[in-house]
Each structure stands twice: as C-alpha cells, then as structure tokens.
Structure 1
Amino acid sequence: MTEERLTSQARVETARPDRYGRQLVKHLSRREGGEWDNDIHAGWVVIAGVRASVVAEDTDLLLTLEGSSEAIGHLELVVGSHLARFGSRDGLVVQWNRSNGTPGTRQTGD
C-alpha cells in the first residue's frame, strides 16, 4: 500500500514577513538543518525528515510542507505554533490548507 503524500500551505498576512521568516528558519533549523537566503527572502528547514519552505512576500509569509498524511498534522502544528508564538504581538494566525481538501490545522498566538 502506498502512503498518501500531501502538500499543506499557509499564507500568513503580516507587515514583517521577512523578519518572521528569518526568525522561524533560524529557530527551527537548529535540530535538522535549514537556511535563510537574505537575497531572495526565502528559506527552508527540515523537520522530522521533511523539508518545509518559507517565502517572504510583500505582505505575506508563505509556508509550504510536503509529507505523509500521517505526519502532516504534526508538521503543521510544529511550524505554525512557533510562528504564531513569535508573532503573538502582531496577532499572526496560521491557517493550513491541504492539497487533498481535508481541513488543515490553525494556530494563533493566544
């Protein structure tokens, strides 16, 4: 039996996407690796063997995860809860949307 692979994305509205992207990548890359590129305002981290991408756009931070259907909820929680906590003063909300249409998780800094 083949394990279902999913993509999950969250587009987080913020006035400081570059700052939060850098902070998230720096923090999460401590265990399994990651890198932030200041020139392209994007980076990646590895969490539980899965690569997550982080892209700072003009007014949003785009997060993308790809993983097994069993792991995706945990990955959403790890990445989203860190970002929501970092951005609690700015009221950041991380709402994940999965490629198979199942509901993603939601994290807030509350």
Structure 2
Amino acid sequence: MATSTTTITTTRASTYLQQLCKHFAHKVPVEFTPDRGTITLPFGTCTLRADNTTLTMTTIAKGDDLARMEQVIGDHFARFSFRENIEVNWQKQH
C-alpha cells in the first residue's frame, strides 16, 4: 500500500471535512465527526483530520490507484474550497 498526505491551512477545516464526507456518503462508505473522517472508495481510503487551522488528508491505495485517490479527493476538495483558491500538494510517504 502507498500513502500520500496533504496538510491545508484554513479556518474552514472542519467545514471542508464534513462537506467532503457528506458528498461521498451518497455513494460509498463514510464515517465522520466534525474533526475526523474516513472515506472508503473502491480503490482506496482517505482519512481526514481537522483542527482550528488545518485540514490533513491522507490517502492510502495500491500502486497506481494512489494517484487516482489524490486526483479524486483533490478535485472534490477544490470544488468545495474554490473561494479560497487553495492548492493541494500531496506528499508521498515512503
């Protein structure tokens, strides 16, 4: 399994976490609270953590599916955060 993480500085971290989780919950298994969440897609998992100033998202998947996870989660995050124009930079874990 491969892992990548992004940490985003925003005062809306909990809001974005909940928006992402509620959005995906219509189609895939999701668990969340205002400060923690897990989105389980058929090709990988994303865990989310929020505090007052940061949102940390970690994707876990096999091989090439990691890039797909980064793209799917990143694209959806971009839609919800468009007013802030936040760039998502994934860092691969070795």
TM over 0.5: yes
Structure with bigger gyration radius: 1
Q: Which runs of 4+ in 1 moved over 3 A?
A: none
- The TM-score normalised by the length of structure 1 is 0.79
Is 1:71 matched with 2:45? no
Q: Which runs of 5+ in 1 are unaligned?
A: 101-110
Q: Which runs of 5+ in 2 are unaligned?
A: none
1:94 matches 2:88: yes
Counterpart of 1:31 in 2: which secondary structure?
coil
Supply the AA of the counterpart residue of 2:8: V
The number of aligned residues is 94
Of all paired residues, the percent bearing the same amino acid is: 27
User: C-alpha root-mean-square deviation of aligned residues, in Å?
Assistant: 1.2
Which has the higher relative contact order, 1 or 2, with Cα contacts under 8 A spaced 6 or more apart? 2
TM-score, length of structure 2 as denominator length: 0.92
- Picking from 36, 46, 66, the partner of 1:42 is 36
Determine the C-alpha separation between the residues in 1 that align with 2:24 and 2:38. Answer: 9
